[in-house]
Amino acid sequence: MISLFRSRNGLRYYLFRGIGLSILLVLGIFGEGAWQVYHTGSQPLPGHIRADAALVLGAAAWDKRPSPIFRERINHAITLYQSHRVEKIVFTGGTPKKGYMTEAEVGRRYALKQGIPAHNILFENTSRNTYENIRNIRPILRAEGIGSIIIVSDPYHLARALEIASDLDIEAYISATPTTRFDQSKEKNKFLLQESYALFLYRIGKWSENFWDWLTMSKTEDE
């Protein structure tokens, strides 16, 4: 086995070197993503930023009640609304189980109870993940003339959400919830790793799709 690495000639040497470089590349991409997840989540919303609406990313709901995570996101969006930094609140998220109220409906119900006028609350209730959360509200934003949003979620969730919004040509800013159940060290590190991995997979999928589009376009042009 050692001779494989000592020899600088032959297919096996280049094969192992290629594998080694690929591993380093993957680790580099993952590490850069982890840093972005951490850095983005720690950035406060600049004081001068205003937007047309706050987008509350969906989270678990317990029947008709928001989970603690979801409740913190809703409360933060309400704070942005009450401080006149947004004019509307948008809720997004479906339900994992038939017959239960959707996450978006739970969020809307909670906001109404907190005194937010119904005409300033928008929602879509079909999405099942972060990408769909943002993609599915685009028609609603266009129909309502909303040109900019502030995405509200837990700190480490925001890097991926912001990149998705950018890829979908949505003018977006981010504002992390000031409190989160992921404050404890163990949960915090776990969430950081989960979101870093999710961002890594999202980017790989996006780059693969772009490469395939380029490849098929090149083939078409050659023909």
52, pLDDT greater than 60: yes
pLDDT for residue 158 = 96
Pick the residue with more confidence: 156 or 19?
Answer: 156
Closest CA to 180 of 64, 37, 67: 67
pLDDT for residue 25 = 82
- List phi, psi (to 5°) of 169: 60, 40
- Using only C-alpha atoms, what is the Rg of the chain? 21
CA 123-154-134 angle, 5° bins: 35
Sequence ranges of the domains in the chain: 51-179
Strands (E), the chain: 53-56, 61-62, 65-66, 88-92, 121-124, 148-153, 171-176
Question: Length of the chain in residues, anyone?
Answer: 223
pLDDT (tens digit per residue) in 84-132: 999 999 999 998 777 788 999 999 999 999 999 999 999 999 999 999 9
Confidence band (pLDDT; 50, 70, 90) for 15? confident
pLDDT (tens digit per residue) in 178-197: 876 666 666 788 888 999 99
pLDDT for residue 9 = 61
**SS3 assignment, position 37:** helix
CATH dotted code for 51-179:
3.40.50.620
Q: What is the mean pLDDT of residues 55-69?
A: 89
